[in-house]
Chain A
Amino acid sequence: MSRSMFARNPSVLVFLAILGLFTLGVTLMSEWAGSEIVSTSFVKTLGKTLCLALVAVAMDLVWGYAGILSLGHFAFFGLGGYMIGMWLMYERTHGIVASSLAEATIPPTESEIAGAIGNQIFGVVGSSEFPAIWAFADSLALQLLFVVLVPGLFAFVFGWLAFRSRVTGVYLSILTQAMTLALALYLFQNDSGLRGNNGLSGLQNLPGLDHVPQSSISIWFFWASAGALALGYAFSAWIVSGKFGSVIRGIRDNESRVRFLGYPVEAYKLFVFTVTAMIAGIAGALYYPQAGIINPAEVAPIASIYLAVWVAIGGRGRLYGAVIGAAFVSLVSSWFTGGQAPDVNLGFYTIRWVDWWLVLLGLSFVAVTLLAPKGIGGLLDHWTGRLAPDRHGADLGPDSGSLREAEAEQ
């Protein structure tokens, strides 16, 4: 027990090594390095995938380990994206407006510049006033802080109310769906202060770096995403490796027993819920500058359900499973929906994958649940020989020792 975390969890080192090699490989093959093998847009896709893997790790922590099936973690992901998006959009518009007004014969006043920025950003929703929530949009440091604080605070308040009332299981899942739906509906309103259904756009352009080509920016974000995933993964592994992991897995398996051991179960749930919301916020803040745009549809309830599907397909209760699931499903998904998958001509009907991909995803979700409940990550058990004995039947009780029904009959 006194060995280090890595010694007890060699999979963490293996994962970090693979992630490092992958990052190096993509970097060398990118346009940034002068190669043509991986296009800039594909670097962005890979960078976004790493962000999705990070939010999937958070989801695995809250669902796979603590047993809280949150169907609202994409709300925190989106909030993180909005927070960084506000700075990106404000600062870039500021640069453009300031340079165009500078050519006027009379130098513009501060309030003229602010008015012009407001007009540029909010003209699309018929306003030019800065809403109160944009008060700190000119400060990168503060908005970066908000990337963590806003989702964290939101999750803390929501979790405090929900866990304190001992809402569990499917009721909690429904509540989290309602939360993300409410957030999406609120953001859709034009007077929410975040440009309604237009969302925030042009996020791929970093303010003051107009001369830097996208091939460089994309690789920077790719590195940042890989770094965030590495840190998030190691942090999550550290959380679950010790006694804390033992407690939250206990809560997952038998909540009231943990309570009778004297652990304040609600505090643990709240801790995990809040910390994972913060991780999700960071992932979102790295994702949306690569996507270029964020709008309220991103936090629609379905997005959080996809997140649960990724983790289930990858294998919950193991962190690398979440990464595998998110990477595999989202890459395959963009392959199918991007029109790259060849249509299947059945003679009487042509299967177009753009339409049929969701059906395929649904079927594979059902198949994984029924046939391989441990997900894709569970396949690694065959390789490492960590298979649990194949035991079936109920406990027979004392007289036949540790045999179970079916075994005893044999």
Chain B
Amino acid sequence: MTSLLEVSGVSVSFDGFKAINNLSFAIGDTELRAIIGPNGAGKTTFMDIVTGRTRPDKGRVLWGEANISLLGLSEARIAREGIGRKFQKPTVFEDQTVLENLLLALRNARGPFQVLFYRPTLEDLDRVQGLAGEIGLTGALDRKSGELSHGQKQWLEIGMLLAQEPRLLLVDEPAAGMTPAEREHTTALLVEAAKSRAVVVIEHDMDFVRRLGCKVTVLHEGAVLAEGSLDHVTANRKVIDVYLGR
């Protein structure tokens, strides 16, 4: 299997604290992967490194068929390369309508001059309608996104990520603060998304991970502790000690 993203031997420390310690990780073209681990295991720092927010002290991060290095690229450039990221807290532009939010995310030219003369085409509007249907916000397109409920904001953000048409989706705790019904919908969205792209989900909730039914990577103290199916890793002695046993 050729991998889409390959992280190898990456380390980063903050004021002497090793947040990521010789971490290696790879994910294929169309794969769903869950990352679990106790607090402080380096899950979010890992995402920061891949998306260009944090520079690692050493190691390599290679991307795509051409194996270009993501280190040294700006966040915006990495996003344009095809890596989308969803933050733990829903971050949508609350002052703008759902439609504006989705149009903003839609995969189109990103330069200031192109954007200045951009007018949405019928195709773009169709695409927005389609996405709004997927995330259950068809009736809310003209509403300010700040008026949406917490769960709806989460979905809007997932919708914005899908609109970006990334090849790799990094999702940080998507189900946090959702009702059981909303969780199921989110699971379905992510499983569906993973059919055409790679999806990495960081999650605390074991039931949610079980429902995703995918390969799991357990992080601990900035390194991979175990990898495999959920049943496989939960049977692992070390995993039980550091994470599940608590």
Contact = CB atoms under 8 A, between A and B. Distances in A.
Contacts of A398: 149-151, 177-179, 182
Contact of A262 (B79, B96, B119): B79
Interface residues on A, range: 20 to 34
Interface in B5-56: 51, 53
Contact of B104 (A261, A388, A396): A261
Contact of B105 (A261, A388, A395, A399): A261
B179 to A, nearest CB: 5
Which 9 A-B residue pairs are closest in the complex by CB-CB distance? Answer: A262-B79, A402-B149, A262-B80, A397-B177, A259-B75, A271-B112, A244-B116, A398-B179, A398-B151
Given A263-B76, A398-B178, A249 B118 contact: no
Interface string B166-187: 0000000000011100100000
B188 interface: no
Q: B interface, how many residues as a size bin? A: 35 or more
A251 B91 CA distance: 12
Most chain B CB within 10 A, of A1, A2, A244, A261, is at A261
A257 B91 contact: yes
B85 interface: yes
A247 B115 contact: yes
Nearest to A259: B75
Interface string A248-259: 011001101101
Contact of A253 (B94, B115, B182): B94
13 contacts: A246-B100, A247-B115, A249-B95, A253-B93, A253-B94, A259-B79, A260-B85, A268-B112, A396-B150, A398-B151, A398-B182, A402-B148, A402-B149
Contacts of B74: 259, 264
Interface in A219-272: 239, 242-244, 246-247, 249-250, 253-254, 256-257, 259-265, 267-268, 271
A385 interface: no
B111 interface: yes
Nearest to B85: A260
B54 to A, nearest CB: 12
Contacts of B177: 397-398
Contacts of A10: none
A401 interface: yes
Interface string A269-285: 00100000000000000
A2 B121 CA distance: 9
A251 to B, nearest CB: 10
B125 interface: yes
B189 interface: no
A264 B76 contact: yes
Interface string B102-146: 011100001110011011100001000000000000000000100
Most buried by B among A1, A271, A388, A399: A1
Contacts of A213: none
Given A260-B75, A262-B80, 16 more contacts: A239-B116, A249-B93, A253-B95, A256-B75, A257-B93, A259-B79, A260-B51, A261-B164, A262-B76, A262-B164, A265-B76, A267-B111, A389-B147, A398-B151, A398-B177, A402-B148
B66 to A, nearest CB: 19
B91 A254 contact: yes
A397 B75 contact: no
A262 B93 contact: no
B160 interface: yes
A325 to B, nearest CB: 20
Contact of A242 (B84, B112, B119): B119
A253 B152 CA distance: 19
Contacts of A249: 93, 95-96
B79 A260 contact: yes
A153 B182 CA distance: 52
